[in-house]
Amino acid sequence: MDLKSGYPWWAVKNGLMHAFPPLQADHRCDVAVIGGGITGALIADELAEHGDDVAVFEQRDVGWGSSAASTALLQYEIDTHMVDLAKRHGEDNAVLAYRACAEAIPMLQAKAADVRDVDFARAESLYYASRRRDVRALREEFALRRRHGFDVAWLEADAVHEQFGFDAPAAILSRLAARVDPYRMAYRLFARLHKRGAAVFDRTTIDTIQTRSRDVLLTTADGHAVRAGHVVVAAGYASQKWLRKRVAADRSSYALITDPIDKDALGPLVGTMVWETARPYLYMRSTGDGRLLVGGEDDNVDVPARRDARVEKKARKLLEKAAALFPHLPLRPAFSWAGTFAETRDGLPFFGPHPQHGPRVHFAMAYGGNGITYSMIGAGLVRALIERRKHPLAELFSFGRGEG
């Protein structure tokens, strides 16, 4: 299935950065990673850095799936409020999930600095009430985060207008967020892995997974066999094809990016991403070259032809909403696109083995709006599971957690 529509900015900006070879013979490795997006890249990098012989298999070109369509807002803030997570899983678990996401952002910063040139920059995050009736829930969320030590500030309507130039009943300003070019970062991680001797294969489709007593046997569409001690399935929402029962709902999200805007005109948007309490929510963030990326208008369409047909209309709506908030900005759309993603009921990811496949097959389902942040967490979590070590998030992010 085609995972995206239109012209995703990262693919347009970067082009096909490097072509890796397809698998043309049988292969053996310690860990086989199925999926050549940013999730697979972060996990493969973590495993290889700690001594595993890793091989990556991507059915398209590397990075050409959902990673190319990602808008890459790096936040500790989960789409599900901490207050609501606490009701589902208990306050301790809710705080554990939020803190793990907060710790993942500086980890991603260090990784980006290591591979270099991926448009990473730290930012703040302004989460504003779309309607007056949202203020009460937003204030409860602020109080819980503040009580647990998160660096947040409460802004009343006048402060939102004074600092950011638009009208909203109230907002939470979080100090910890960031941006990145996810397509470029995935490519640069894979290129580094390849240079260091790891195997990276694109245009290689895995057809079957067979768990055995001492290893896992993978078979490709071309009939080649891959024998691995462990397998990590990091194929985005397509990972669900390996499970008899679906664990998440497919969603499509839409986005546009503008021509470059003078940074003086962008003002606080240069260093602050903006999103709202409405669901689906409007969100905005800038790029290193001064463009404004606007996203949202999510729906449950996952049929490529239907999604394709909606891109232009959805982009117009996004542009109208952004212009209503910031009428002074010269918003000239350059490219628009859509991507299909998966979403769990509680907004948390799934990492680890599934009973259907046994302990040697690990799923890395970094689903929801925090996909890249979750992937950074999941890299360490999956490594711990493979090494048979305990991890504080193993239970909460497992298939056995129950979603309330």
Q: How confident is the model at residue 302 (pLDDT cuts 50, 70, 90)?
A: confident
pLDDT of 7 strictly over 80: no
The DSSP symbol for 368 reads: S
Higher-pLDDT residue of 243, 403: 243
pLDDT of 309 strictly over 50: yes
Q: Is the dihedral of CA 158, 159, 163, 167 positive or negative?
A: negative
For each of the domains in the chain, give its residue range(s) and CATH number, in order of start.
4-69+183-247+347-386 (3.50.50.60), 121-176+250-339 (3.30.9.10)
pLDDT of 1 strictly over 70: no
pLDDT the model gives residue 2: 53
- DSSP SS3 for 338: strand
Q: Which two tokens stand for residue 293?
A: 């990326």
Contact (Cβ atoms closer than 8 angstroms) between residue 119 and residue 288: yes
Q: What are the φ/ψ torsions at residue 36 (nearest 5 degrees)? A: -110, 40
Q: How far is Cα 354 from Cα 232, in angstroms, rounded to an integer?
A: 11
Mean pLDDT for the stretch of residues 363-388: 96
Give Cα separations from 116 to 84, 113, 196, 331, 363 (angstroms): 37, 5, 16, 30, 28
pLDDT the model gives residue 52: 98
Place of tokens 């046994």: 358
Q: How confident is the model at residue 334 (pLDDT cuts 50, 70, 90)?
A: very high
pLDDT of 381 strictly over 90: yes
CA angle, corner 346, sides to 344 and 347, nearest 5?
65
Higher-pLDDT residue of 208, 307: 208
Rg (CA), the chain: 21
All residues at 6 or more sequence positions from 325 whose CB lies less than 8 Å from its CB, including other chains: 166, 274
| Nearest alpha-carbon partner for 119 in 44, 76, 178, 175 | 178
DSSP string, 316-357: HHHHHHHHHH-TTS---EEEEEEEEEEE-SSS--EEEE-TTT
Mean pLDDT for the stretch of residues 377-401: 97
Higher-pLDDT residue of 8, 145: 145
pLDDT the model gives residue 404: 42
Q: How far is Cα 297 from Cα 87, in angstroms, rounded to an integer?
A: 27
Q: What are the φ/ψ torsions at residue 301 (nearest 5 degrees)? A: -80, 125
pLDDT in tens, 160-199: 999 999 999 999 999 999 999 999 999 999 999 999 999 9
Peptide bond into 280 cis (omega under 30): yes
Mean pLDDT for the stretch of residues 273-302: 95
Q: Which two tokens stand for residue 388?
A: 């048979």
Place of tokens 């628009």: 336
Q: How far is Cα 273 from Cα 124, in angstroms, rounded to an integer?
A: 6
Give Cα separations from 19 to 23, 60, 63, 64, 387 (angstroms): 13, 10, 11, 11, 32
The DSSP symbol for 53 reads: -
pLDDT the model gives residue 403: 56
Over the chain, what is the mean pLDDT? Answer: 95
